[in-house]
Amino acid sequence: MELKLKLTDYRTDVHNNWCPGCGDFGILSSIQQALFEMQLNPSKVAIISGIGCSAKTPHYINGYGIHTLHGRAIPYATGLKLANPELEVIVTVGDGDGLGIGAGHFVHAGRRNVDFTVVLYNNEVYGLTKGQAAPTLNIGVKTKSLPKPNINQAINPILLAFAAGYTFIARGYAYEVKHLKELIKQAISHKGSAFVEVIQPCPTYNDIHTKEYWSGKGNIDPKTGKEVPRYYKLEETGYECIITDETTEEEYLNKITNFIKKAYESGNRVPIGVFYRDLRFATYEERLSSRMPTYKISPPAKQEIADKKGNLITNIDKILEEFAI
Amino acid sequence: MSKNFGYSWLIGGAQGTGIERGASIFINSVAAAGYYVFGKREYYSNIMGEHSYYYVRFDKKPIRSHVERYNILAAYDAETIFRHSTEALPEAAIIYNSLLKAVRLSEIPTIEKRLRNEISKKFNLEPNKLNLSLILEEAEKNGVKAFPVDYTEILTTVSKKTGESLSELTIMNNIIAVASSLALLKLDFEVLVKAISKTFGNRKRVIELNTLVSELAYNQVNSKGYSNEFNLSLPKLENNSKRYILNGNQAVAIGKLAAGCRFQTYYPITPATDESNFLEAHENIEIKEEISNLINEEKEFLKTEGSIVVMETEDEIAAITMATGAALAGARASTSTSGPGFSLMVEGLGWAGMNEVPVVITLYQRGGPSTGMPTRNEQGDLRFAIHAGHGEFPRIVLAPGDVEEAFYDTIRAFNYAERYQLPVILMLDKFLANSVKTIEKIEANKVKIDRGTILKEDELLKLKQAGKEYKRFEFTENGISPRVFVGTNNAVFWNTGDEHDELGHITEDPIIRDKMMEKRMSKLLTASKEIPMEEKLNYLPATKPEITIVSWGSNKGPILDLIELLKDEGIEVDYIQVRILNPFPANELRGLLEGKRWVDVESNYSAQLAGLIRENTGLKPNYYIVKYNGRPISLDELYIAVKRTITSEAPTRQVLRSGA
């Protein structure tokens, strides 16, 4: 019988150099706890990141950690997962990483529904290059290192993920670690591409949406006269949006309308939780299996390609016959 | 001189009217009659309407190149004749559509202004006065025989007989041109019938129609006595050897399947996409029966068949990074592109170099820079492939010269990639990719599979039990650290594009940086030492060479044919074909070239290989022959250019300019 893995088994001893108070700590901790609670074998876990503060995540997790190029984590992850579908693949990207330079890959992942999880660290700024505006920063906002207020509108990550075709869409908050951990567990368990946006304060460069801001500073509930957080949990409102093959067109329209309303909520009441689940689409792995019957049992990384003497074992004679005179 | 070139046939027409299909039937016919063939395709970056042509040379002996001349021009539009009428060999035949005699040059919008003016000037007539009749008359004055074929009569007859509408049948103009050509050559009609069947597979109706059309074309040519007027004929040859007709795209694709490539990515681009399409069409892979039985006894899970995942990605950056991801998981993985796509891939190339990931990139060069000439030939990316990427990292660059080498070198590319844990760039070009050639055989086991050092789960367990940690980038003497596939039990590792320590974690420590840089770069030295000379270059020595030709890639075809041609005249030349361009075989080349008179032959402007030779050996060629007009080097122009170097009449630099 296997020994039960401890939480520390998912940690490394690499010195963590994120700024004190960084929201990344909460996300890292949520991922480690999720892996621990799911008792996933670290050798079957691959954490793929891009570039930026978020991209250091894999170095702090004991699992195969692939720290890639700016914006390119998703295609690396796609290749890994499709070559060996038994891997549990988690992509950690930043807002600039995932929705700026990597926006194309982010969108195209939605078309494929590869069975992996994308966690988007959204602090609205490019932290590692000292606080420039990220694609998720609202127009008119001037965070502290911007010389002028932001001149671009913000991308709505939830709606973009929906339009792209992600089949599981959620949002968490970096300092709601337990809640976020549960979201990540659900995302990992989901069959298909799961997207988790994480609202994350950047204590160094985002002086607008700070930890205090999100916890409710200046947001007074008129009934109680007390400060209340600027986020709320969707599940506590009874909200749910699950689309299946049985969903009628009318139901679908109702659900989607509701979803879009939730996705647009901002300001003092930002929803966190699971926004959307779509169970209608086969995963990319299943689509490949339907064309290639042996894909599942011998995916690309598991196939023998030579005998012990190094003789190639692929039968090319039949193919060559197509070209025979 | 023409007899040395064998037979040449050219079919032309508007893009989208079945030029390639027609050529394919022609090729299958002459090949079935026992002849060796070489076929070259020229087309515009266009789907419908622009002029496209297919050139086929065939002979009793193996051939590997084209000449810019023909014995038969098979045309069903006027433009083809306007463009190619002056490329006729003495006593050549031009087959044309008799209804088009009145078409004037001014009525053909797809002929570029420059060419229109040139044709107009040559005939001393305004474009609106110069019609096809006049062009043909001029050709006949030069000894060409022009044979009018009534295409419409044939198609009308077929329409009446079969009930098919005439407009549906116009697509069969191509087969009329092909059949008329073969009738002129007095080829047994049955050979053509078989070739039609082979070309169209199980499409019965299409085969019937094409056969009927062909029969009528044969009848017309014979009843008009054309075949007696034409002096060439194509007797069936005895041929017992097994032969195949393949192009470079196909050879690489089959090579990838054989090599065990199980993950291929691509973003559509000419002239690379055909390779990926071929792989996707063959995504379910058979394993040799005797082997599968053996493996099945050992491991139940492995079935007799495998598969290759072929991914059309959102762009070339995704293509290379996705392939790299698959390679990390342990699959032999590759991508395929052309210059513009390779430009986008460069950041991914650097990451693979930094993280020592074996990924193979097939780079089909085409006319550059920028979009350049998407469907035309060039070898302009050599320096780019060798230097692509910021910073310094090792990569191996190899360039096969023909269809056979394309197959074997593809397998080697994966071997090098895995043995030395680095990206490998396999360079071809449009000429090699799109040209077909008769080959005798492919020896599947000539190149063995070498996957390098890979640690498996049980070995890692032992390491763990010994209290040792697996280090992905462990410092070793030859620079190669044992590799582990992502997902292997009893290990984890880290990768990063940042400089890293042995475990793969980020470091900026100057001492580790030095050691890691030296470890990575030393793999090139290891590769240089281990790779045998015969894989680095081909050397074809002569007893008394008049000059040594040095070249790379697809120029091999015209060069080998040239060597034979010169031999017939009693002239001997040496030939060195550089096949591994990085790490550069400097010592080997210095040994071969020192004290020799040599000529560098390349399809680019700046003679990039010669530059590399000079940089690495200090040696400089006596002559340069370069070409960059987008058309591959033809045998006839190379013959003239090389001969001038032998007689010392040549200027230091000759630019070849032939091709339509």
pLDDT band at B304 (very low <50, low <70, confident <90, very high): low
**Does any domain span residue A320?**
no
pLDDT at B523 over 90: yes
Mean model confidence pLDDT for chain B:
95
- pLDDT tens digits, B103-145: 999 999 999 999 999 999 999 999 999 999 999 999 999 999 9
Chain B residues whose CB is inside 8 A of the A47 CB are none
Residues of chain B by 3-state class (helix, strand, coil), percent to 5: 45, 20, 35
The confidence score (pLDDT) of residue B445 equals 86
What number is the average pLDDT over the span B161-175? 95
B73: phi then psi, degrees, rounded to nearest 5: -110, 120
Report which residue type is found at B180. S
Report which residue type is found at A105. H
Structure tokens at B378: 């060039």
The confidence score (pLDDT) of residue B241 equals 86
User: Cα B449 vs. chain centroid, distance in angstroms?
Assistant: 24
User: Cα B329 vs. chain centroid, distance in angstroms?
Assistant: 31
Least CA distance to B447: which residue of chain A?
A: A311
The confidence score (pLDDT) of residue A1 equals 47
pLDDT band at A117 (very low <50, low <70, confident <90, very high): very high
Is residue B199 within 8 Å of B191, Cβ to Cβ?
no
- Nearest beta carbon to residue B325 from set A75, A310, A313: A75
pLDDT at B222 over 90: yes
- This model of the complex carries an ipTM of 0.98
Contact A314 B246 (CB under 8 A): no
What number is the average pLDDT over the span B158-184? 96
What number is the average pLDDT over the span B423-446? 95
- pLDDT tens digits, B505-516: 999 999 999 999
pLDDT at B34 over 90: yes
The CATH number of the structural domain formed by B537-656 is: 3.40.50.920
pLDDT at B294 over 80: no
pLDDT at B647 over 90: yes
The confidence score (pLDDT) of residue B301 equals 42
Helix (H, G, I), strand (E, B), or coil: what is residue A39? coil
The confidence score (pLDDT) of residue B1 equals 42
The tally of domains found in chain A comes to 1
Chain B contact present for A69, CB below 8 A? yes
- B245-439 and B537-656 in the same fold: yes
- pLDDT tens digits, A208-233: 999 999 999 999 999 999 999 999 99
CATH topology of domain B2-229: Pyruvate-ferredoxin Oxidoreductase; domain 3 (3.40.920)
Task: Read off the CATH number of the domain in which A233 is found.
Answer: 3.40.50.970
In DSSP terms, A117 is beta-bridged to A90, A194
Q: How many residues does chain B have?
A: 660
What number is the average pLDDT over the span B629-653? 97
What number is the average pLDDT over the span B300-312? 77
The confidence score (pLDDT) of residue B12 equals 96
- Nearest beta carbon to residue B309 from set A67, A288, A312: A288
**Does any domain span residue A1?**
no
What number is the average pLDDT over the span A147-163? 97
Contact B487 A105 (CB under 8 A): no
Name the burial class of residue B450, with classes exposed (0-12), middle (13-18) and buried (19+) by CB atoms within 10 angstroms of its CB: middle
The confidence score (pLDDT) of residue B444 equals 84
Contact B326 A82 (CB under 8 A): yes
pLDDT at A36 over 90: yes
Helix (H, G, I), strand (E, B), or coil: what is residue A98? helix
pLDDT at B534 over 50: yes
- pLDDT tens digits, A178-197: 999 999 999 999 999 999 99
The CATH number of the structural domain formed by B245-439 is: 3.40.50.970
- Alpha-carbon distance A214 to nearest alpha carbon in chain B (angstroms): 33
Contact A301 B487 (CB under 8 A): yes
- The domains of chain B are located at 2-229, 245-439, 457-530, 537-656
Q: Which domain holds residue A19?
A: 7-288
Residue of B307, B415, B493 for testing the chain A interface, max A β-carbons within 10 Å: B307
**Does any domain span residue A312?**
no
What number is the average pLDDT over the span B316-340? 98
Chain A residues whose CB is inside 8 A of the B419 CB are none
